[in-house]
Copies of this chain bind each other. A is one copy, B any other.
Amino acid sequence: MNDKVKLVEVGPRDGLQNEPGLVPTAVKIALVERLADCGLSHIEAASFVSPKWVPQMADGHAVLTGIRRRPQVIYSALTPNMHGLEAALTAGADEVAVFTAASESFCRHNIHCSIAESLTRFAPLLALARQHRLRVRGYVSTVLGCPYEGKVSPAAVARVADALYQLGCAEVSLGDTIGIGTPNRARAMLTAVRQHVPIENLAVHFHDTYGQALANIHALLEGGIRIIDSSVAGLGGCPYAPGASGNVATEDLVYLLNGLGMDTGVDLDRLVDTGRWISQQLGRHNGSKVGLAWPK
C-alpha cells in the first residue's frame, strides 16, 4: 500500500469563508505562512468569487500577493468564472479551482445555474488556464447528500466528476458538503466515480457535521484515496446547521495518518500550535480534538 498522502489545506479558504466574522488580511497571511511552515504543501489561500456573495474573501489579491512564498508550496485559489481566473492569474496563484455540485438544487442555490451550465462556463476557463500552464482542480459538492434533495446517487456524482475530468481538471475533489455520509455510502460513491476518473486524480473533502468525517476518510483510504482536503482547527461551519462543525480538522487527520504509518510531511506539533493560534485569533472553540488534548 502506497503510504504517501497529499493533504490539501483548505482552512484559509473554505474554513474562513464559513466563519461568521470578517478576518483581518494580516491574520490570513500569517495563517497561510504558518501552515506552510508546518509542512503543508498545498494550501488553498484565497477565493476570487464576487465580494457581493462572499465578503469574507474580498481580500484574495492582498493575501496571495502578501504572503512570503515557499518555493515547494502550491498556493491555490477558488475561481468560479473567467473574471475570477483573471484575478487569480494577476495575484499569482499556483493553481485554481472550479466548483459545481452533484445535485441540481444545491448547484442552483450555490452558484445560480444548472450543473450543465456550470460545466459550460468552466470550458473557456480551463482553456485559458491551460494556456497559462495553470493546474485546475474541480470540486463536486453534495456527493453524499444535498440539503434540498436529500440522497444523491453515486451515478450522479460519477457523471459530474467525469465531466470535470474530461474538461481538463487535473484533480477532482469529492465533497460531502453537509457532512451527512457514512462509510458504506462513501465507498459506494467512490466505486462509481473511479470507474470514470483514475483514483490518483481524486480527492475527498469531508465536513464533520455529524462527526463521521474520519470514519469515512479511513474507509476511503482503504479504498485507495491518497488526496484529502482538511482545515486546521476544523475551521468553518455549516451554513445549513448553525453551531455545527466545519471541515475535518487537519490535526485529527494527521494524527490518524501518523497512526496508520502514512507519510504526510506535516509537523503535528507545529500544526497544533497553529490551530490553537488561529482559534484564539478568531475567538473560536478549537474544532480539533487533537488540538485540545495535545500537551502544551
- A66 at interface, CB cutoff 8 A: no
The residue among A212, A255, A288 with the most chain B CB atoms within 10 A of its own CB is A212
Minimum distance in angstroms from A252 CB to a CB of chain B: 4
Contacts A210-B289, A211-B288 aside, 16 further interface pairs with beta carbons under 8 A come to: A182-B258, A182-B259, A183-B256, A184-B259, A184-B260, A184-B261, A210-B252, A210-B255, A210-B293, A211-B249, A211-B290, A212-B256, A214-B214, A243-B292, A244-B289, A245-B293
Instruction: Give Cα distance in the complex from A32 to B259, angstroms.
Output: 36
The answer to whether A208 and B289 touch across the interface, beta carbons within 8 angstroms, is yes
Binding site for B on A (CB under 8 A): 179, 181-185, 208-212, 214-215, 217-219, 238, 241, 243-245, 249, 252, 255-256, 258-261, 285, 288-290, 292-295
Instruction: Give Cα distance in the complex from A245 to B234, angstroms.
Output: 15
For A185, list chain B residues within 8 Å (CB).
259
Instruction: Give Cα distance in the complex from A260 to B181, angstroms.
Output: 10
For A219, list chain B residues within 8 Å (CB).
218
Copies of this polypeptide in the complex: 2
Minimum distance in angstroms from A222 CB to a CB of chain B: 9
Minimum distance in angstroms from A182 CB to a CB of chain B: 3
The residue among A183, A211, A215 with the most chain B CB atoms within 10 A of its own CB is A211
For A210, list chain B residues within 8 Å (CB).
252, 255, 289-290, 293
